[in-house]
Amino acid sequence: MIPARSGSPPPLSPLESVYPLRVCRSGAVCEASCPPERGALQANSCWRLALRMIKFVLMVNRQGQTRLSRYFQPVELSRRAALEADVVRCCLSRKKDQCSFVEYKDFKLVYRQYAALYIVVGVTDSENELSVYELVHNFVEVLDKYFSRVSELDIMFNLDRVHIVLDEMIQNGHVVETNKSRVLAPLTALDKMGE
């Protein structure tokens, strides 16, 4: 353990840094509670928790037609079409030499183009854009490995398989797996059962 500087509180041990989360009425995690051992000493010093997570993943073509959409936070169905249209318009209108990260309303957009398809990921402000950018590339590499050169038609006619890949990689808005073999394991088992 690192010794504390004079005048500052001692650093938290790894066990003390695990703290319970407070949940708002909407079901979202809104703030962190103070560690119980220090709660009495720091009566009102709880801090806001900056959640780092993926809000949604969209796959669209150049005409703006959505080929895949997966939301990790609840969005009303009536609002989804407008959100998707606005996000797609924002990303497709950008030039190739512009940055692939866009500040959009209360979150960021990270997008990447592959031939005629754009993959757009909506993330919170505190999320690392470069890691999400590489996650998109990893997702496409997994699809390439499974479909052997994935195309828009593969995605359209095998949407269930694409969702399985995405759900193996991202759960609850957090990246849980990036290893290609492990991501494809459920699909391989599914294909063997179908034979």
Q: What is the pLDDT of residues 113-123, one digit of tens each?
A: 998 999 999 99
Higher pLDDT, 129 or 46: 129
Same domain, 27 and 72: no
Return the pLDDT at 140: 96
- C-alpha distances out from residue 83 to 41, 75, 96, 150, 189, Å: 45, 9, 23, 27, 36
Judge whether 7 lies within some domain.
no
E runs forming strands in the chain: 21-23, 29-32, 54-61, 66-71, 101-104, 107-114, 117-123, 170-171, 174-175
Judge whether 121 lies within some domain.
yes
CATH of the domain at 65: 3.30.450.60
What gap in Å lies between CA 188 and CA 195, rounded to an integer? 11
DSSP assignment of 71-101 equals ESS---HHHHHHHHHHHHHHHHTS-TTS-SE
Same domain, 141 and 61: yes
Return the pLDDT at 39: 43
For residue 192, pLDDT over 90 is answered with: yes
Percent of the chain with pLDDT over 90: 66
Segment (H or E) for 167: helix 159-169
Reported confidence tier of residue 37, pLDDT bands at 50, 70, 90: very low
Same domain, 133 and 160: yes
pTM recorded for the entire structure = 0.73
Least confident of 32-46, 95-109, 132-146: 32-46
Q: Which domain holds residue 110?
A: 54-194
Taking CB atoms within 8 Å and a gap of at least 24, the contacts of 141-148 are 141/180, 142/169, 142/180, 142/183, 142/184, 145/180, 145/184, 146/184, 146/187
Give yes or no for a contact between 99 and 129, defined as CB atoms under 8 angstroms apart: no
Same domain, 27 and 58: no
User: What mean pLDDT do residues 85-91 have?
Assistant: 93
What gap in Å lies between CA 179 and CA 195, rounded to an integer? 25
Same domain, 134 and 189: yes
Same domain, 34 and 125: no
Give the count of domains, the chain: 2
Same domain, 74 and 101: yes
Same domain, 143 and 157: yes
Return the pLDDT at 175: 94
For residue 34, pLDDT over 50 is answered with: no
For residue 59, pLDDT over 80 is answered with: yes
